[in-house]
Amino acid sequence: MIRVNGISKTFPSPRGVVPVLRDFSFTVPSGSCFGIAGKSGAGKSTLLSIIAGLQEPDEGQVLIDGTDIFVLDDRRRALFRNQNIGFVSQEQSVLAHLTVRDNVRLPAFLGDGRKRLRTEERAEQLLESLGIGHLADCYPAELSGGENHRVLIARALMNEPGIILADEPTGSLEKEQATAVVEIFRALADEGRTVLMVSHDADALQRCDEIIRI
């Protein structure tokens, strides 16, 4: 479950402080898929980044399955995120010196060592589900932008997180690929995980249980 309580965030500008989020609250129950929609610049990506613990709010609280993530120090928050949250953002990139398979396996090597024994099988299952299993031994430079984006999605799911946060997950994908990705997220929610995605894609938002508009 994701619980957001009274989140506010401002950014400095040459004209003064600009409010981006004001006293924003909502709850995403476990086993559901929620969408976030709104105009460009409304603060959607900022909100998702705060929920992921990558930015701190000026005010407010984020509870992930009961854990107040901003009570944790930076190291513990990063460990918590790696173990519990799968995050796909527009700013992320694959690591050029690693194969596709090793890019996907990376979160497991940063987290619980007990999971490492089955990382290769898990990585290959994820790549197959996203239609790029045949690219496992390739390097990112050999892939298209859409293919690399699917690698990022696979990497976010590597540790089987209970929480999945996705910022425009279908933005760089063709319609068939986008549909497949959304159906994966829908299936994860149906299995009991919590999915929250920012999207301009009307088809993706239709598969959500509820849409939060900001």
Mean pLDDT, rounded, of the chain: 91
Confidence of residue 114 (pLDDT cuts 50, 70, 90): low
Residue 119 has pLDDT above 90, yes or no: no
**Domains of the chain, start order:** 2-213 (3.40.50.300)
Q: How far apart are CA 210 and CA 73, in angstroms?
A: 32
Which residues, in sequence order, are CB contacts of 4 under 8 Å at separation 6+?
A: 24, 25, 26, 27, 47, 51, 60, 61, 62, 63
pLDDT digits (tens, 9 = 90+) for 145-172: 888 888 999 999 998 999 999 999 988 7
Whose tokens are 């120090």? That residue is: 73
Percent of the chain at pLDDT exceeding 70: 96
Q: In this structure, what token pair is assigned to residue 78? A: 């990063």
Q: Are 25 and 46 in contact (CB under 8 A)?
A: no
Half-sphere exposure of 131 (CA within 13 A, CB side): 15
The helix (H) or strand (E) run that includes residue 190 is helix 175-190
Q: How far apart are CA 147 and CA 48, in angstroms?
A: 23
